[in-house]
Structure 1
Amino acid sequence: MAHTKEIREKRTVKDEDILKDFQVSFFAMSRLASLPWTFVQKDLERNKSTAFISEILKRTCLHPLCQNFPPSVKYRRLFLSELIRREAADCDPLDELYDALAEVVGAEETTECYKSYLLPNGEAVSLLENIALISEGTTGLVTWEAALYLAEWALDHKQVFSGRTVLELGSGVGLTGITICRSCSPNRFVFSDCHSRVLQKLGDNVHVNGLTEQGSPAVSIEELDWTTASEEKLKEIGADTVIAADVVYDPEVAGSLVKLLSKILRCSSAEVLICSTVRNPDTYGSFKKQLENAGISHQVMTGPVSHVFPYNRNSAIELIKLFR
């Protein structure tokens, strides 16, 4: 009897892990092929019941988070179609599954949707992002992999941000900064970007996630042009920690970034961390060479990070710390 109970408890833990995988992946709009569909199929064959599919539905399309911050219409439609496709022929149809599909079949597609990233404490960072990777002349309206990695690193190294003033360069839609504000207890956080549309979207996302200038931490959003930002402006911000994610993607932009980083390191003792997805080794190598020419040394921050968010972990992502 004890052995049977142990097996049942293990199965319950496994079920919960699978349900969490579905929920985390659904709200982040991960590729559908990456979800654990095989487990669902085996559960249906074993139990001859749609109870597990019903539970998946409660954690995804019927969850309050989906009502407030829904993934794209197309994604929800494809997700529900996959669940229906896996319903066993000898099981009673699940009415709420078909009702949920009916809601999105006729819904209008939009150019924006919400992605929500679940934090270890059970809260969520919900971001309005553009569906297209490049839109309105910028790549800053979506979340990129290095931002997710840097957010995970921050969750593992809260002491780098706790009680400090943090400046983020190229904040984009705000994933890394909002995660730090919600989980790492900075005293003040300054989001920054130079693209007007990105700043507008960033402001919306900061507000949606309950962050305000008067709150704790105090947050502000600054238009910061890397080519014209003065040392006086940087001193006024007074950052103790400076971060940036996925900002090294163009040789010309990298040059402007190095000049700004030189000013930051010259006028402050801030801890500076740059996280990059190395898509073009030549561009990234050129950035490091420009750092060297500017008298800036770097240290590669190695070691594993906790897996919190779903993204492609085969990507070449590097986090470096800068020194003068």
Structure 2
Amino acid sequence: MGTNADQMEREGEDDDDIVCLESFFIDDNYQLTTFTFGSQVLQLLCLQSASTDFDLTGQLVWPGAMLLNDYLSKNAEILQGCSILELGSGVGITGILCSRFCRQVVLTDHNEEVLKILNKNIELHAASDNPEYCAGLAAEKLEWGNSEQISQILQKYSGGFDLILGADICFQQSSITALFDTVEKLLRVRKEGKCKFILAYVSRAKTMDSLVISEATKHKMQIIELAGTRSCVGNLEGVIYEVSL
């Protein structure tokens, strides 16, 4: 039988294991990666595969972001001179592309680790040969459904936004109500339906497919599929929706 000192030492080791657990799962081995969308070439730090846990899906570029960026690069006129807020920005690939056309881009995420890499990518573009590409580009913390954080953003950017963007952000059924609650608050700042939410959606489950449509309807929003945007993304089907009040 071990002594009390032995037992305390073992318990201390257990505590150390718990403290170190999160850092064990966090992968920050980012690689500078080049992406091309039409005539636009972006270089971003990102992971090549997902971290295992702790809600760090935002560390890599997801198929829906590729779908949305392809659409935006082909329809850049909708971005010209606009003010945009992106939900679930991750490493910032969509927001940074938009900064080449928009007057102001606010990229948001709720995860502190993801916000670190998001800010690094903003700094990377601020130091580029074309600093005008990052004019008005900023990152803010935003957890969907968090009224305080939403209010802080709307106070800071009091004019509201012309477009709300989201790329591949519908993963968990439990988050969809909070997502549309947030979208509704952001859309209502601009009266007369002047603000729209553009969602690049990738189908992974039929229950989620119907939930996105029904949740928009519950919030009294019109959700339409943009013509010609339904396509194969990897081995999945993707589509771009336009959502408005």
Q: Under TM normalisation by the shorter chain, which class is it?
A: 0.7 to 0.9
CA contact (8 A) 1:111 1:131 kept: no
Letter in 2 for 1:205: N
| Residue in structure 2 matched with residue 133 of structure 1 by the alignment | 50
1:187 aligns with 2:65: no
- 1:264 pairs, out of 180, 186, 190, with 186
TM-score (norm 2): 0.76
Q: How does 1:9-158 map to 2 (within 5 A)?
A: 111-121=29-39, 124-137=41-54, 138-158=56-76
1:323 aligns with 2:240: no
Q: How does 1:231-310 map to 2 (within 5 A)?
A: 232-236=151-155, 237=157, 238-268=160-190, 269-303=194-228
| Offset from partner CA, 1:263-285 (integer Å, 9 cap, x none) | 12222231211111111121231
Matches of 2:127 and 2:103 in 1, distance apart?
A: 13
What's the CA shift for 1:316?
Answer: 0.6
CA contact (8 A) 1:248 1:284 kept: no
1:172 aligns with 2:90: yes
Residue aligned with 1:316, SS? strand
CA contact (8 A) 1:211 1:219 kept: no
What's the CA shift for 1:211?
Answer: 6.8
- Larger helix percent: 1
| Offset from partner CA, 1:133-162 (integer Å, 9 cap, x none) | 134512110000110110111111112111
> What percent identity do the matched residue pairs reach?
19
Residue aligned with 1:282, SS? helix
1:199 aligns with 2:118: no
What's the CA shift for 1:235?
Answer: 3.5
Matches of 2:137 and 2:236 in 1, distance apart?
A: 31
What's the CA shift for 1:209?
Answer: 2.4
In 2 relative to 1, CA 312–274 (structure 1 residues): closer, same or farther, beyond 3 Å? closer
CA contact (8 A) 1:117 1:126 kept: yes
In 2 relative to 1, CA 134–278 (structure 1 residues): closer, same or farther, beyond 3 Å? farther
Gapped regions of structure 1 (runs ≥ 5) = 1-109
Matches of 2:125 and 2:69 in 1, distance apart?
A: 16
CA contact (8 A) 1:248 1:276 kept: yes
TM-score (norm 1): 0.59
Gapped regions of structure 2 (runs ≥ 5) = 1-27
CA contact (8 A) 2:38 2:74 kept: no
Matches of 1:134 and 1:116 in 2, distance apart?
A: 20
- Runs of 4+ aligned residues of structure 1 deviating over 6 Å after TM superposition are none
- Larger strand percent: 2
Aligned-CA RMSD value: 2.5
Residue aligned with 1:302, SS? coil
